Amino acid sequence: MNTQKGDKLGIVAASGSYFIWGLLPLYWALLKHLPSLDILMYRIAFAFVFIAMLLLFSKQKAHYRTELKWVFTNGRVFMSIFTASILISLNWFIFIFAVSGEKVVDASLGYYINPLLNVVLATLFLKEKLSKAEVAAVASAAIGVLLLIIIGGHIPWASFGMALTFCLYGFIKRAAPLSATGGLFIETLLVVPVALCYFAFFTAYPLTSFAPLTIALLVGAGVVTAVPLLLFSYGAKRISFSLIGFLQYVAPTLMLLLGIFVFGEPFSIVQFFAFFFIWVGLVVFTSSRLLGHRQQKINAKT
């Protein structure tokens, strides 16, 4: 594959992943007649099945076996991945719950503040230093959140929950890097026993009790979970850091538009100004990171 074609496919794949993530509220809304916990358990189960089928027909079985052996023979790595699997499951649950509870705008906020929360965690735990622009970006986002809490009288629990669980998930996985497919397989493998126990002893909604369309949607939940992650993994290896930095805001922007114009959620003047401060923070933060990355490339060439 030539470089130009690879770049085009990378753009299509990465863009596709963010568009799927951004439109997922529409999918979960089709299942909101079911309890959020049931949807989560079916999502885990069918994501595991879908990834297992991909591995079964993969030409890289030896690589995935090596990853599996590495995780299950190294206690520290196992605990890291197990914790990561719990965190990503919580993230999925909060997202599903937010859509069912008509809080898609809050879900979009969670994805907007996620990059800035990553910076805070890196500063606190990895002792990374922030530039003045990045400090200003975090401060601007903090002002936006405080506006929601103090003036709006609304604590966006779903936003905080989604951002924090996903940040911690990524933070933990830094210590145990796995391929996208292998990592998702192991993560779902670790939590699928919980889903099976839930189906056996707790759920009031066995799969056989549903209409064919609901069954299809629940089975498809595994596909819509795995496919965008695989597309992102493919695309991120083939396009520039700056383009990824831009595309990451496609998903929350789509969610925000869906929340306001499709789901008809209220969007007050306080929310507008809160989001405005967060958007300003994101623009400053992204610009700072892109300039820093460009300078690193220039320095590497000289």
Please write the tens of the pLDDT for every residue from 113-154: 888 888 888 788 777 777 888 889 889 999 999 998 888 888
Q: pLDDT tens, 28-57?
A: 999 999 999 999 999 999 999 999 999 999
With beta carbons less than 8 A apart as the criterion, state whether 28 and 262 touch.
no
- Per-residue burial over 263-301, b if 16 or more Cβ lie within 10 Å, else e, is bebeeeeebebbbebbbbbbebbbebbbeeeeeeeeeee
Q: What is d(CA 71, CA 188) in angstroms, rounded to the nearest whole number? A: 13
Contacts 24+ apart (CB under 8 A), 267-276: 267/105, 268/152, 270/147, 270/148, 270/151, 270/152, 271/105, 271/148, 271/152, 273/144, 273/147, 274/144, 274/145, 274/147, 274/148, 274/152, 275/109, 275/112, 275/144, 276/144
Taking the C-alpha atoms of residue 268 and residue 52, their distance in angstroms, rounded to an integer, is: 45
| Domain residue extents for the chain | 3-300
Question: 109, 275 in Cβ contact below 8 A?
Answer: yes
The one-character DSSP state at 72 is H
Express as a percent the part of the chain with pLDDT over 70.
96
Residue 85 falls in which region: left (phi positive, over 0), alpha (psi -120 to 50) or beta: alpha
pLDDT at 5: 53
The angle, 0 to 180 degrees and rounded to 10, between the axes of the packed helices 269-301 and 132-146 is: 160
Give the max Cα distance, the chain: 66
Q: How confident is the model at residue 302 (pLDDT cuts 50, 70, 90)?
A: low
Task: Using the structure block, give the residue that is written with the tokens 């916990």.
Answer: 37
Q: Within 13 Å and on the Cβ side, how many CA atoms surround 171?
A: 20
CA distance linking residue 24 with residue 42, whole number of Å: 16
Residue 300 scores a pLDDT above 60:
yes
Residue showing tokens 């114009």: 261
Q: What is the mean pLDDT of residues 212-240?
A: 89
Question: Which tens digits make up the pLDDT trace of 80-109?
Answer: 999 999 999 999 999 999 999 999 999 999
8 Å CB contact between 282 and 115: yes
- Nearest alpha carbon to residue 94 among 43, 21, 31, 160: 160
Residue 1 has pLDDT above 60, yes or no: no
From CA 279, how far away is CA 115, in angstroms rounded?
A: 12
Whole-number Å distance between alpha carbons of 116 and 132: 14
Determine the distance from the C-alpha atom of residue 244 to the mean position of all C-alpha atoms in its chain, rounded to a whole number.
14
Read off the pTM: 0.89
Copy the structure tokens of residue 207.
């799969």
Helix 250-257 and helix 104-125, axial crossing angle in degrees, nearest 10: 150
